[in-house]
A and B are shown apart, each in its own frame.
Chain A
Amino acid sequence: MQMEVLSISATGVAATPPPVRGRVVRSKWLYSVLTFLMVFGPGLIVMEADNDAGAVSTYVQAGAQYGTKLLWLLLLLLPVTYFIQEMVVRLGIATGKGHAAMIYQRFGKWWGLFSLVDLQLVNFLTLVTEFAAIALALSHMNITPKVGVPVAAVGLVFMVLTGSYRRWERITVVLCLLDIAWLVIAFKLHPGLGEVLHDTFIPSVPAGGMTAGLVFLVIAIVGTTIAPWQLFFQQSCIADKRLRFADLKWSRLDTFLGAVFTIVVAGCMMIAGNAARVHGVQFSDPAQMANDLRWFSGEAIRSGILLLMINAAVLGTTAISLSGAWAYGEVKGWPHSLEMPVSKAKGFYTTYLVCVALAAAIVLIPGAPLQLIIIGVQVLAGIMLPSAIIFLQLLLNDKEVLGEQFVNRRWNNWVNWTIIITMFVLSLVLAAQVVAPNLFPHI
């Protein structure tokens, strides 16, 4: 295996570097900060995009039912999400290829095809739920979904059509950072700081004990926080951005900060749900919660939550659609880069366009079986996640691909197999419960 480093930034100081575009700085500290800012992006996006419409719904529901009592679970999930995505970072940087391509090459056509079809199916169903959330939030803002949803879809398509990875990344990072508003909302809702800190750092079972509802809500939170598309998305994103071996530590930091930000934002969503519980607000979705909370917290909170719902769905849609388009391009051997103009990567952009347009169209069909689609997302994600992590684990032990430098250490494997087994059990229970609820009448 050859891991030749040609970039001058990889070594910091180069004797005879080839001419490239960049900046020369004198301070080592400034060099580190600027290099990090250039690498920064995929980690934040993959994590924050996972706080999509479904996640908003799950977290506020958790807050509405159990207050802040499940905040410790989010803290527990922080290292789990980081460990899983860190493996993706190593694999992406070492190979410069996407996850779908690696599965195809190392495990053969059957598994490659299965992974691709499964990813596309669950992605598409998730996209429908994202657009359903956009339609819901818009209708609460007195904007007809027949206008708002197509406008959102067109905007999402234009985001990727610029022929510049950097432009797409900058727009998406700004959208991610807009989620800082969740922190403001949580602060404005006046949660008890002592209670929040206590429930974050000291695990406890909410009053009422281990009921079936609590078990499945915990499973839903785990399933919401770690999703199969994230593995495919971040590896393809890293490959498209052409991150270098020397960028590994900065990419890890990007991923870690993204995980921390995402978990903090998720906690704020729970706090918003808790405020609804405290004020006795009954709701079936976050848009209705925002609407009813205005009587206690003002119009700004209502508008903020509705806009953040749309932002969450937009972020989820662009990341999920791209994960599918990249994966399809990798397996088909099509050109697949945001750096390419549409004319040179027609298949890649068409896949993205078709996913977005079809999902938006389905939401606009009167009487579309959205509830069945949401159930389908849960079942398929439950099926796919553990199997996707197993392939990741096997690839991270593949010395032919990663060599001694990037391959998993023994402690990595212990941590990851623990995560995999836990995920298997949880997803099996969730999927079985969703598919056949009467199988578990007395949990």
Chain B
Amino acid sequence: MNVLGFLRPSIINEVPENHFAVVHPLDDVVEKKVETSTLGSMPMTVSVKLSLMALRGYLILMMLLVLYHVLDLAGVPVQQGH
């Protein structure tokens, strides 16, 4: 068996019975995926809305902490207990 010939892909026109075609995804026929561009925004259930609200709260808290740190680095007296 010619190993190099085996490793080099060739055009497959027909797959004999009881044989298998091995095709790299980039060489394969483009597969039809889920069409998401027409779906629009996700319908928000109450739990999703609550999750996102919690997330916004978390992010606001973190931004305030970053601000606190920046002020601290800038020498603004934001702490009482030194």
Contact = CB atoms under 8 A, between A and B. Distances in A.
B26 A241 contact: yes
A17 B29 CA distance: 10
Contacts of B32: 2-4, 6
Given A242-B28, A387-B55, A9 B21 contact: yes
Nearest to A400: B39
Nearest to B25: A242
Contacts of A31: 20, 22
A213 interface: no
Nearest to B72: A436
A410 interface: no
A25 B36 contact: no
B81 interface: yes
A24 B15 contact: yes
Contacts of A339: 26
Nearest to A247: B25
A372 B36 CA distance: 40
Contact of A390 (B15, B21, B51): B51
B10 to A, nearest CB: 7
Contact of B79 (A101, A432, A438): A438
Interface string A381-394: 01100110010001
B16 interface: yes
Interface residues of A, number: 72
Contacts of B69: 379, 434-436
Interface in B1-59: 6-7, 9-37, 39-43, 48, 51-52, 55, 58-59
Contacts of B65: 431-432, 435-436
Contact of A243 (B10, B25, B34, B62): B25
A355 to B, nearest CB: 22
A7 B37 CA distance: 23
Nearest to A382: B62
Nearest to B38: A105
Nearest to A93: B33
B22 A38 contact: yes
B29 A20 contact: yes
A402 interface: yes
Interface in A90-147: 94-97, 101-102, 105-108, 111, 114
Contact of A17 (B15, B31, B39, B73): B15
B81 A438 contact: yes
A12 B31 contact: no
B27 to A, nearest CB: 4
B12 A20 contact: yes
A5 interface: yes
Contact of A21 (B6, B12, B35, B79): B12
A108 B11 contact: no
Contacts of A403: 34
A25 B20 contact: yes
Contacts of A340: none
A13 interface: yes
B41 A107 contact: yes
A4 B30 CA distance: 11
Given A13-B15, A20-B12, A39 B25 contact: yes
Interface string B71-82: 011000001011
B39 A401 contact: yes
B11 A6 contact: no
A72 interface: no
A95 B32 CA distance: 9
A394 B42 contact: yes
Given A19-B12, A21-B12, A94 B23 contact: no
5 contacts: A21-B10, A26-B18, A245-B31, A386-B58, A428-B58
CB-based closest 8 A-B pairs: A22-B23, A96-B33, A31-B20, A435-B69, A9-B23, A21-B27, A106-B42, A435-B65
